[in-house]
């Protein structure tokens, strides 16, 4: 047997499903970042990403090759979050209390204080505006991808991002 034949046996060609699974692993940091903005808690964000990946892997046969994997899995994560939020409304109150307790501790440096202030102001935006701003601004999705994730028209996504930026700028201009 030649060395080429041996290497082909040792490494079979990748199927579309294997390539998609590998691409999913490359999206993990982005998914985790988006989940952190949705739920505020690191452990809960990790659980949300895990749930989204399980759902994505279960539905892998439904993914159309050539379509946008990033938008598809972001939509799965967003939908998983919405379902969890509907199921566990009482947990939201506990998370809010925990966040307020963490916020009461003063930052050691000005940069940290500014970051906490920005985070507080981001959470002051409505959920749809915050989500749009995070998808386009922090996650780097273009308007079309973000609109696909949220199942809204592109114009609606652009308007949400613009309103979120205006409200955030107005909030920051009124620094206490």
What is the distance between the terminal CA atoms of the chain, rounded to a whole angstrom? 76
Top pLDDT among 3 and 110 is at 110
Predicted local confidence at residue 1, as pLDDT: 46
* CA 164 to chain CA mean position, Å: 17
Distances (CA, A) of 33 to 28, 45, 74: 9, 8, 11
Q: Where are the domains of the chain?
A: 15-104, 106-176
Q: Does domain 15-104 have CATH number 1.10.1740.10?
A: yes
Query: What pLDDT score does 70 carry?
Result: 92
Which H helix or E strand runs over 134? none
pLDDT at 171: 81
Q: Is the pLDDT of residue 11 over 90?
A: no
Question: What are the φ and ψ backbone dihedral angles of 88, each rounded to 5 degrees?
Answer: -125, 60
- Look up the CATH number of domain 106-176: 1.10.10.10
List the structure tokens of 15.
Answer: 């199927």
- State pTM to two decimals: 0.58
Contacts of 47 (CB under 8 A, 6+ apart): none
User: Does position 21 have pLDDT exceeding 90, yes or no?
Assistant: no
* Residue with the larger pLDDT of the pair 91 and 34: 34
Q: What confidence tier does 80 reach under pLDDT thresholds 50, 70, 90?
A: very high
pLDDT value, residue 130: 86
Q: Which is nearest to 59 in space by CA: 48, 75, 46, 82?
A: 75
pLDDT, tens digit (0-9, with 9 covering 90-100), for 118-155: 778 878 888 888 888 888 888 888 999 999 988 999 99
- Does 94 or 119 have the greater pLDDT score? 119
């Amino acid at each position: 047997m030649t060395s080429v034949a041996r290497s082909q046996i040792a490494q079979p060609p990748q199927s579309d499903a294997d390539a998609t699974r590998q691409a999913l692993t490359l999206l993990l940091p982005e998914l985790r970042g988006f989940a952190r903005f949705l739920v505020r808690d690191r452990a809960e964000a990790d659980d949300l990403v895990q749930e989204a990946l399980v759902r994505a892997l279960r539905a892998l046969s439904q993914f159309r090759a050539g379509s946008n994997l990033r938008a598809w899995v972001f939509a799965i994560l967003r939908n998983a979050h919405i379902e969890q939020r509907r199921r566990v409304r009482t947990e939201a109150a506990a998370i809010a209390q925990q966040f307020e307790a963490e916020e009461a501790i003063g930052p050691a440096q000005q940069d940290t204080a500014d970051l906490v202030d920005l985070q507080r102001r981001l959470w002051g935006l409505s959920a749809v505006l915050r989500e749009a701003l995070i998808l386009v601004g922090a996650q780097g999705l273009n308007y079309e991808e973000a609109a696909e994730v949220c199942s809204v028209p592109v114009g609606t996504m652009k308007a949400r991002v613009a309103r979120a930026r205006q409200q955030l700028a107005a909030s920051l201009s009124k620094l206490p």
